[in-house]
């Protein structure tokens, strides 16, 4: 099918048309191509913006979150006017403002085993812009089953990774990571933070790989993992090989259908940060405040990092960072009532598991962390 560019499109894409590797024919390819972007956050923002600007004819966006004030430090596709709006709608509005001639389809729903094949089947390239292991494994498996390239990216603090997993021509994500890490071993950006510009760097590299794949030019990152560090501005490459024993793309696959990825990874398949230790071990901020006001003796233990005390703190709390908890258990008395807390309840839930394994029983996790305390008890504290 031929696609004739209008005079306006020729002017819009003129800098592409001047490149021999793209030209008119390449721009026609882009206009007739489709890309699915899973996640419209830190990575999805630059990916979606640059694919829209480049003239990819159809772009799908999968997300079910809303724009939050804390997103604006790095999720540059969203702005103040989008606060509280569905991310897919905020992103679509910005993309169509940038390029009204493209088609942007939105899927305001979680990407799950129930809908993933249906959604992904219509697109040429899949881009993983997520921040959780269940969705990463799901995206990989869908791409293997559908025979589509998976443009992978991940970020944390100052470090990023990029690769293209295409089981038809090289390794898949499971070849590199056959099993997910133990729950809680790898902190999320919500827990550990991320330099705001980092997802811009990694997301732009992902968009670059997607355009190369659609145009059929250059050497994509198939069989190579790019490692980037912003602090020393280093780019390194690790060669990847196809695993002949891979459970999904090997000659004798064990995984022949989509599975329960949350159960497989042992963590929720979403990016929301509020943690819980379960109803038997959680205490809400309001409940804790009532008990403290009633004069109950409760040992408050803050498992955050020391620099977080500059943001907010609870008076009288003992600071024992999660990473030091195992070595400092002797500082705690199992006969005391202990309430553990962190920023949002995730790290303190892991600390609670450690204390339970050491025989502590009079211990609770502050659900929602010190941020919940700021919302429900003491609004003078900032939320971060």
Residue ranges covered by each domain of the chain: 33-265, 282-376
Q: Is the pLDDT of residue 274 over 80?
A: no
Would the CA dihedral through 116, 121, 122, 123 be positive or negative? positive
> How many Å apart are CA 336 and CA 67, to the nearest integer?
41
Integer Cα distance of 181 and 266 in angstroms: 9
Residue 275 has pLDDT above 80, yes or no: no
Cα distance between residue 325 and residue 321, in whole Å: 6
The residues annotated with a catalytic role in the active site are: 189, 342
Closest by Cα among 336, 201, 184, 200 to 268:
184
| pLDDT per residue as tens digits for the range 140-198 | 999 999 999 999 999 999 999 999 999 999 999 999 999 999 887 787 888 889 999 99
For the chain, the average pLDDT equals 95
Indicate the angle between helix axes 285-293 and 369-376, nearest 10 degrees. Answer: 70
Rg (CA), the chain: 23
Query: What distance in Å separates the CA atoms of residue 2 and residue 144, rounded to the nearest whole number?
Result: 30
In whole angstroms, give the CA distance from residue 190 to residue 215. 35
pLDDT of 11 higher than 80: yes
On whether the CB atoms of residues 78 and 94 are closer than 8 A, the answer is: yes
Give the confidence band of 271 by pLDDT, cuts at 50, 70, 90: low
Q: ∠ at Cα 277 (274, 278), nearest 5°? A: 105
Contact 281, 348 (CB under 8 A): no
The region of weakest confidence among 54-63, 121-130, 222-231, 273-282 is 273-282
Q: What is the 3-state secondary structure (H, E, C) of 248-288?
A: CCCCCCCCCCCCCHHHHHCCCCCCCCCCCCCCCCEECHHHH
When pLDDT is averaged across residues 29-58 and rounded to a whole number, the result is 98
Residue 89: pLDDT over 70: yes
The pTM assigned to this predicted structure is: 0.87
Please, are residues 48 and 87 in contact by the beta-carbon 8 Å criterion? no
The SS3 call for residue 193 is coil
Tell me the CB-side half-sphere exposure of residue 131, using CA atoms within 13 A: 26
**pLDDT the model gives residue 3:** 72
| pLDDT bucket at 254, cuts 50 / 70 / 90 | very high
Res. 272: pLDDT tops 60: no
- Structure confidence by residue, pLDDT tens digits, 307-365: 999 999 999 999 999 999 999 999 999 999 999 999 999 999 999 999 999 999 999 99
Instruction: Determine the pLDDT at residue 170.
Output: 98
pLDDT reported for residue 273: 59
- 3-class state of residue 331 by DSSP: helix
What torsion, rounded to 10 degrees, do the Cα atoms 51, 52, 55, 61 define? 80
CATH class of 282-376: alpha beta
- The structural architecture, per CATH, of the domain 33-265 is 3-Layer(aba) Sandwich (3.40)
């Amino acid at each position: 099918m031929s696609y004739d560019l209008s005079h306006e499109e020729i002017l819009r894409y003129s800098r592409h048309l001047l490149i021999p590797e793209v030209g008119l024919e390449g721009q026609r390819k882009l206009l007739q191509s489709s890309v699915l972007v899973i996640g419209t956050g830190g990575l999805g923002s630059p990916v979606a913006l640059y694919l829209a600007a480049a003239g990819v004819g159809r772009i799908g966006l999968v997300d079910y979150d809303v724009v939050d004030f804390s997103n604006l430090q790095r999720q540059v596709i969203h702005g103040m006017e989008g606060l509280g709006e569905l991310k897919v709608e905020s992103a679509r509005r910005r993309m169509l403002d940038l390029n009204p001639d493209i088609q942007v389809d939105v899927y305001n729903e979680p990407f799950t085993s129930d809908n993933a094949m249906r959604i992904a089947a219509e697109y040429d390239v899949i881009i993983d812009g997520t921040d959780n292991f269940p969705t990463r494994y799901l995206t990989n498996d869908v791409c293997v089953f559908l025979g589509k390239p998976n443009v992978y990216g991940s970020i944390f603090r100052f470090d990023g990774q990029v690769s293209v997993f295409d089981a038809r021509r090289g390794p898949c994500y499971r070849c590199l990571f056959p099993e997910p890490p133990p729950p809680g071993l790898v902190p999320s950006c919500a827990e550990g933070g991320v330099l705001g510009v980092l997802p811009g760097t990694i997301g732009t590299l992902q968009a670059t790989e997607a355009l190369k794949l659609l145009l059929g030019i250059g050497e994509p990152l198939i069989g190579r993992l790019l490692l980037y560090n912003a602090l020393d501005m280093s780019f390194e490459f690790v060669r990847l090989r196809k695993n002949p024993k891979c459970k999904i793309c090997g000659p004798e696959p064990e995984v022949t259908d989509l599975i329960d990825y949350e159960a497989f990874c042992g963590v929720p398949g979403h990016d929301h940060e509020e943690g819980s230790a379960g109803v038997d071990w959680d205490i809400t901020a309001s409940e804790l405040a009532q008990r403290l006001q009633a004069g109950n003796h409760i040992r408050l233990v803050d498992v955050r990092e020391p620099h977080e005390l500059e943001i907010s703190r609870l008076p009288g709390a003992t600071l024992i960072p999660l990473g030091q908890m195992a070595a400092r258990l002797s500082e705690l008395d199992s006969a005391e009532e202990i309430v553990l807390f962190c920023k949002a309840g995730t790290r303190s839930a892991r600390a609670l598991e450690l204390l339970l394994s050491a025989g502590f029983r009079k211990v609770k996790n502050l659900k929602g962390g010190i941020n919940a305390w700021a919302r429900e008890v003491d609004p003078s504290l900032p939320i971060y």
